[in-house]
Amino acid sequence: MLMDKITETIAHFIGLFEIKVEQARLRKDYEEFQALRASAETQPPLPDVDAGSRAPFDFVGMDPGLRYQLLGPELEKVIPWSHVDLQPIPILIPWSDVVPPHMELISEGVRPLTSTFERTIDPPGSIAVVANQEIHLSDNDYVGAGGHGLVFSPEMDAGAELASLLHGAARLSPFGHQDVPASAEGIEDFILDAASALESFVVEHQDDGDVHVVHQETIKGSFVNGEAVDELPKLKDHLPAEDEEEEETPTQTATFVDGGGLVAIDPSVQVVAGENTLVNTALLTNNWQAGAVVATLGNYTEVNAIVQINVWSDSDAIGSSLADWTFDPAEATQAFNIATFSRVDPAGDGQADAALGGFPTDWVVTRIDGDLLIMNWIEQFSFMMDNDVHVLSSSGVKTMVTTGDNMASNDVSLTELGLYYDLIIVGGDIYDANFIHQMNVLLDDDMIGGVAGFHMTGEASLSTSGNLLWNSAEIVNIGAADRFEALPSYYLDTAGDLKAGKNSLSSSVLKDDAFSGLEGLRVLYISGSILDLQYIKQTNILGDSDQVALAMNGIEDSFPDADWTLSTGSNALINIAGITDLDSAGKTYVGGDKYSDEILIQAELISSNPELGGQDPDKLVNEAIAFLDDELAGTDDDAMPHPAHHDAPHPDVMQTMLA
């Protein structure tokens, strides 16, 4: 925009005026700032001192000098009797600083007599752990590969056969379906009922050829499939063989064809329809409460039992067209039931050395009004169906089909650490039971045959078995088997005093050989009962019945020189369980009856009634084949039966299994 001279002069003046005004404002602010800075007090300079230093020590790594040591509680020293007219004098001292009682009493000018230490200690609480792990997998696949133009629809009822195996497994189990005990009475009833059921099963089945039983008051040693052994088999030596991977990747060489041409390919067909793995592992360590001496006024019931069952059917039907294929006769299904019972005496020879020391004169009493419950209930269950249907032919390329190779794993590991006492007195009964129940059920009835006209000249290998059923269990009791003695009268009197609310211990109790060399006793009094139940149940169920039909390629050349590798077995069903139960670190006095029972049941059942029976697999395969292309079928289309739909659902046997 152009302005006349007058307007332009006025605009320049206004702009110049604004600049002057802004400069004046800035000058005013700057002068005030300068004045404030001049009026500020001058800070004295920092002192400059030369300080000499010496470092006579070499530097070391980080060491804070902290040492963890559990502090003892504050104790109140009570003199229950010294003079009739003299009141007790409380002295707070840590347990680690306790000196012989007579020295303390003399320093107070009081005649030395027996004294008691009392403190407030939180007693061990009841504990109950219930773990239920379940895996359900259905992986029933239908695969058609190659240019055969066929549909394979075998009419096999794998569910009925699996239900039959489950029925046989139930016959070999002394336990039915068990509900988790919900109370102290429920735990007591379960232990007693289980002991009775085990004894009844032993009487009924001990002469069966497929059941091995060991029933004694105390079992010691290891057993494999009913036989006592010194050395146990190792799992890694019996796992189904896996394909060994080459350590070094082979050098790839390029193939060059000048101009138009074909690259030669070695045709092959590789099928993996099995190789499933089911694993249950459970390890329990129960160290919730323990005592050098345990005294119960009631009964002592101890039950340890391991039940192991392997049931399988591995009857395969192989067509005559595969008679020349390579089979490994060593690849048969293997089943192992492995059990170990052992005991550890923590006292050992230490009591003889301890007897050289004196006896305690001081004690601490902790009380539990009612029962002490210690329960771990673990159930692990894996159910897998992998019934695959394949119709295959070689089309002149490398064909790889994997419809198995599934993995199911349940794992539990519990370690329960509690409190240690020198003396545990129980006003009621003691129930101590450890149960391990393991079961594997496998159905691996495969059918493999060739369609009419199938032939080949290449290399071929077939594996339909090589399965592993593995049950491994161990129960370790800490406490000698011969530690039980009748309850002395002075323990009975002491229990009566504790029940009445008195914290006194008789001199005879204090002079028990187990307490020799101790300065003071930690005493736990339980007015009710101790109920200690450890229960592990592991179950693996696998249905892996595969049906494979082999045909020639019908679209182009038939490629009879193709190499074939088929694997429909090599499954692994594994149960591993262990219980370590701390019962007592020394003696156990029983005022009532003492019942001890240990039972091992190892059973196996091999099905002798496969669904395929003695039928011809080639005939079954050809009856279940239909042509999709009329030209491939030829003129006699009516000769081939119309098949059922190949993707019809498999029967569900879950209701049968859970019933």
User: Which pLDDT score is estimated for 83?
Assistant: 34
Over residues 357-377, the pLDDT tens digits come to: 688 888 889 999 999 999 999
Task: Determine the residue type at 435.
Answer: F
Same domain, 185 and 87: no
pLDDT at residue 612 in the model: 59
Domain membership flag for residue 473: yes
Residue 44 forms part of a structural domain? no
SS (H, E, C) 272-315: ECCCCEEEEEEEEEEEEEEEEEEEECCCEEEEEEEEEEEEEECC
- Any domain includes 533: yes
Separation between Cα atoms, residue 113 and residue 58, nearest integer Å? 56
- Predicted local distance difference test score (pLDDT) of residue 326: 80
Identify whether the C-beta of residue 162 lies closer than 8 Å to the C-beta of residue 654.
no
Averaged pLDDT score across all residues of the chain: 79
Domain-embedded: residue 499: no
- Please indicate, yes or no, whether residues 104 and 154 belong to a single structural domain of this protein: no
Query: Quick one: 430 and 574 in the same domain?
Result: yes
CB 240 within 8 A of CB 467: yes
Query: Under a CB-based contact definition with an 8 Å cutoff, are residues 237 and 334 in contact?
Result: no
Residue 189: which H helix or E strand, with range?
helix 184-205
Torsions phi, psi for 330 (to 5 deg): -80, -10
Side-chain-side CA neighbours of residue 648 (13 Å):
11
User: 376 and 292: one domain?
Assistant: yes
Q: Note whether residue 653 is domain-resident.
A: yes
Same domain assignment for residues 417 and 310: yes
Last-in-domain residue among 118, 136, 171 = 118
Closest C-alpha to 437, from 277, 575, 531, 342: 575
Residue 520 and residue 386 share a domain: yes
Both 90 and 224 in a single domain?
no
Structural domain span for residue 99? 74-118
Judge whether 67 lies within some domain.
no
Nearest-CA neighbor of 438 among 312, 338, 343? 338
Using the 3D structure, point to which of 118, 137, 171 is the last residue of a domain.
118
pLDDT along the chain (659 residues), means of 10: 68 73 75 70 68 63 57 45 35 36 33 42 84 94 88 83 89 86 92 93 85 92 93 91 51 58 77 94 92 93 96 89 76 92 78 61 88 95 94 89 93 90 93 96 92 87 92 94 91 92 88 86 93 96 92 78 90 96 90 93 83 72 75 43 39 38
Shared-domain flag, residues 433 and 545? yes
B/e letters for 164-177, b = 16+ CB within 10 Å, e = fewer, are: bbbebbbebebbee
CA-CA distance, 368 to 525, in Å (whole number)?
6
* Residue 258, pLDDT score: 62
Whether the CB-CB separation of 414 and 534 falls below 8 Å is answered with no
How buried is residue 97: exposed, middle or buried, by Cβ count under 10 Å (0-12/13-18/19+)?
exposed
For the chain, what is the domain count?
Answer: 2
- pTM (2 d.p.): 0.76
Asked whether residue 167 falls in the same domain as residue 105, the answer is: no
Flag whether 264 is in a domain.
Answer: no
Specify the pLDDT at position 405. 92
Report how far residue 587's alpha carbon sits from residue 483's, in angstroms, rounded to the nearest whole number. Answer: 5
Sign of CA dihedral 490, 496, 500, 501: positive
| Rounded Cα gap, residues 395 and 516, in angstroms | 85
Tokens of 476: 């370790």
Identify whether 380 is part of a domain: yes
Q: Which of 467, 441, 236 is nearest to 331 (CA)?
A: 467
Q: Are residues 400 and 522 in the same domain?
A: yes
Which residues on adjacent β-strands are paired with residue 291? 421
Residues 476 and 524 in one domain: yes
Same domain, residue pair 311 and 452: yes
Task: With residue 266 as reference, give the H or E element that holds it.
Answer: none
